[in-house]
Amino acid sequence: MIAPKQLERSSFYVIYPEGTPAQFVKWMFSVFGTAGWPPAEDSIDEEALEGARALRIPIIPRDVSIIRDKPDPEVGKQLVVRSDDQKGMVILEGYLSHNQPPALIREWKLPVLARENIE
């Protein structure tokens, strides 16, 4: 969702012209942002799931939740999406359990798009 080509086609910079990482995380969990999420494994039928896998379309696994800002103690496996505005980064942390350190950490610099690409 954070790739420049995807952001160009999204509503993010229209809604948030300044485009900070914190705003991106807020937008990502909004009605507009969630519309662009990959399908969840438990929300599509088996035939569509096989087709998506064959085309290498990302699927959210049935036992993984996507959470905003901090781990949820009520959830097991989870991907936590948070921001660091000072560094200009969107951060993804993968947890096998909320009470363990993250098993995965990825950081992306939020792209700055040229105004002509979003107007």
pLDDT digits (tens, 9 = 90+) for 15-29: 998 899 999 999 999
Q: How far apart are CA 58 and CA 81, in angstroms?
A: 17
- In the chain, the number of structural domains is 1
Q: Are strands 78-84 and 104-109 parallel, antiparallel or unpaired?
A: unpaired
Q: How far apart are CA 50 and CA 45, in angstroms?
A: 9
Q: How far apart are CA 98 and CA 36, in angstroms?
A: 26
Mean pLDDT for 87-111 is 95
Q: Residue 116 has what pLDDT?
A: 57
Q: How far apart are CA 107 and CA 27, in angstroms?
A: 17
Give the three-state DSSP class for 41.
Answer: helix
Residue 90 burial by Cβ neighbours in a 10 Å radius (0-12, 13-18, 19+): buried
Q: Residue 64 has what pLDDT?
A: 95
Q: For residue 75, give its domain range.
A: 4-117
Q: Residue 20 has what pLDDT?
A: 94
The length of the chain is 119
- Tens of pLDDT, residue by residue over 72-95, are 999 999 999 999 999 999 999 999
pLDDT beyond 60 at 53:
yes
